[in-house]
Amino acid sequence: MGLVGAFLASCLAAAQATQIRGAVLSQDGRLAAVALLRSWVWAVDNREIDAEGTADEGGQFRMPVPPARFGTNDDAGPMH
């Protein structure tokens, strides 16, 4: 699970729609303009994109997240 996916999974315990926002940084720590963001969950036979957004010219983004698409599994143990 990628960093964005882990973040979404930890933030979306509620069943209501929400929005995440933040900034995208490049490898050198600078703001990354016009970056495409995606978060998905893996299905048995394919991946389903659940949320998608694009950073603006200043690297800032807002991404709507559909309700009840992310959650936690109490038996899964810690994420590394």
Taking only the tens place, the pLDDT of each residue in 10-60 is 565 445 567 888 999 888 989 988 888 887 765 555 656 577 888 999 999
Res 48: pLDDT: 66
* Residue 65: strand pairing partners: 18
Q: Which amino acid is at 69?
A: R
With 0-12 CB in 10 A as exposed, 13-18 as middle and 19+ as buried, what is 64? Answer: exposed
Average pLDDT over residues 60-80: 60
Res 56: pLDDT: 93
Q: Which amino acid is at 29?
A: G
Quote the pTM value.
Answer: 0.51
Statement: residue 1 has pLDDT above 50? no
Res 72: pLDDT: 47
* CA neighbours closer than 13 Å in the CB half-sphere of residue 4: 23
Res 80: pLDDT: 45
